[in-house]
Amino acid sequence: MGAQNHGLKSNVAKKQAKARKASKGKKKGDFAVYIGNENLQVRKAQSYKARNHYLENKMKFPKKRLKTKDIGSLTEQGIIDERGFFLKGKKKNFITKSMVDEKGMDFYGMPR
């Protein structure tokens, strides 16, 4: 008897070994799937199922897109303030597309 046939006929044990070997390669291929923005260490530490769920949730989540690019209307809706800074999220200026306004002041009115 071989080391891992556990009292089975040799042809059955060989089939099992073959199936195990085949599935091993399959698993490795699945784990190689790049899902998000994770690095190799994180990907190895996280299960395939967890990464798959993460990807599915990421795909379902709506993108943050502005309904309009009109500055007046965005100010009215309360998305940006009168200087052009976003009120929620990153303290970025919508008009200059940077972290400072036209005068070179940041969100808190300090020079950068």
Mean pLDDT for the stretch of residues 84-95: 90
- The fraction of the chain above a pLDDT of 90, given in percent, is 31
Say what the pLDDT of residue 36 is: 62
Q: Which domain holds residue 96?
A: 64-107
Residue that finishes a domain, picked among 28, 44, 60: 60
Is 69 within a domain?
A: yes
Q: Is pLDDT at 29 greater than 90 in this prediction?
A: no
pLDDT at 2 over 80: no
pLDDT at 33 over 80: no
Alpha helices in 32-95 (DSSP H): 40-45, 48-60, 71-77
Q: Is residue 33 part of a domain?
A: yes
Q: In the prediction, which pLDDT does 112 show?
A: 83
* Angle at the Cα of 107 from the Cα atoms of 69 and 76, rounded to 5 degrees: 35
pLDDT of residue 9: 82
- 4 pLDDT higher than 80: no
Mean pLDDT of the chain: 81
What pLDDT score does 92 carry? 92
Query: Which residue carries 């199936």 as its tokens?
Result: 19
pLDDT at 67 (0 to 100): 84
- Please check whether residues 50 and 80 belong to one and the same domain: no
Do 24 and 52 fall into the same domain? yes
